[in-house]
Amino acid sequence: MTQTTPEAPMRRQRAQVKVRTLRTDRWWLVPFLTFLGLSSFLVYGVWAIIDNSIFVEPYIAPFASPCLAAATCPEGAQLFGWAPIGDWYTLSPGLLILALPGGFRLTCYYYRKSYYRSFWLSPPACAVQEPHGKYTGERRFPLIIQNVHRYFFYAAIVIGLVLAYDAVLAVVHKPLGLGSWILIANAVLINAYTLSCHSCRHITAGRLNHFSRHPLRYRAWTFVSKLNAKHQPLAWASMFSVMGADFYVRMVAKGIIAFPYA
């Protein structure tokens, strides 16, 4: 009878890289570009929250939609003419909803990877030394909070539908307007990114044992899985599309872009 030795306890630390890097390629390029891309989004987001040019008939800036404040949302900008936040609120309407799409992106599995690498350098790339002595992953506070991502997903679905509604409304009222089609492209990308979410894939059929007994969920899962394979490019494309669409609407609202089919 052969004897087995008890297994060594599982090590809970990452492999240590003793030299600065084992890489010979330009490993820093991706984290650096990621840092620039995400920083530009943050800087733009701060400016968009301060800026008040959120609406020009029939376009509403995506960063301010749904527009819920009675005092700071022009009548045409309010969703179904509904502004539940009373006159007491006089700050930017975008500030009211920022936590929903912002929280969704902040806790996204892909964005987590990208900002852990490019901002926190933990580690900046494979086989590169990291500046932190300790690694506890996402098992403890505060990073365990990232698990709320699945709940932000539901909020993101609502925001995606609102943006799609805004875009369709713009096309109906101004079919030849460039802004209408910019909003449509943005709504498509935002909703594709939302549906490509890993939580969405899990929700559609993550715990099923028999796909054959749930053909509709299986079809939904198949569709979401295809999008899910493109989650990273969709994250970037939708991030730039929402910035671009928002910036375009604000430029039209300010009169800076004023050609006939704007």
Q: Which residues bind ligand FES (CB under 6 A)?
A: 108-110, 149, 153, 197-199, 231
Classify 85 as helix, strand or coil: strand
In the complex, minimum distance from the CB of residue 237 to ligand FES, in angstroms, rounded to a whole number: 13
- Confirm if 52 and 94 have CB atoms less than 8 A apart: no
Q: Which amino acid is at 129?
A: Q
- Rank residues 128 and 234 by Cβ distance to ligand FES and give the closer one: 234
> Bridge partners of 85?
69
Cβ atoms within 10 Å, residue 39: 12
In the complex, minimum distance from the CB of residue 200 to ligand FES, in angstroms, rounded to a whole number: 7
- Rank residues 191 and 199 by Cβ distance to ligand FES and give the closer one: 199
- Rank residues 231 and 250 by Cβ distance to ligand FES and give the closer one: 231
Cβ atoms within 10 Å, residue 32: 13
Cβ atoms within 10 Å, residue 15: 6
In the complex, minimum distance from the CB of residue 73 to ligand FES, in angstroms, rounded to a whole number: 27
Phi, psi (deg, nearest 5) at residue 126: -65, 140
The DSSP code sequence of 136-203 is: -TTSSTTGGGGGGHHHHHHHHHHHHHHHHHHHHHHHHH-TT-HHHHHHHHHHHHHHHHHHT-HHHHHH
| Side-chain-side CA neighbours of residue 145 (13 Å) | 6
In the complex, minimum distance from the CB of residue 153 to ligand FES, in angstroms, rounded to a whole number: 6
- Rank residues 110 and 248 by Cβ distance to ligand FES and give the closer one: 110
- Rank residues 198 and 214 by Cβ distance to ligand FES and give the closer one: 198
In the complex, minimum distance from the CB of residue 120 to ligand FES, in angstroms, rounded to a whole number: 18
* CA–CA dist 102, 219 (Å, integer): 30
Enter the tokens of residue 36.
Answer: 């620039």
- Rank residues 64 and 108 by Cβ distance to ligand FES and give the closer one: 108
In the complex, minimum distance from the CB of residue 206 to ligand FES, in angstroms, rounded to a whole number: 13
- Rank residues 92 and 238 by Cβ distance to ligand FES and give the closer one: 238
In the complex, minimum distance from the CB of residue 158 to ligand FES, in angstroms, rounded to a whole number: 14
* CA–CA dist 84, 80 (Å, integer): 11
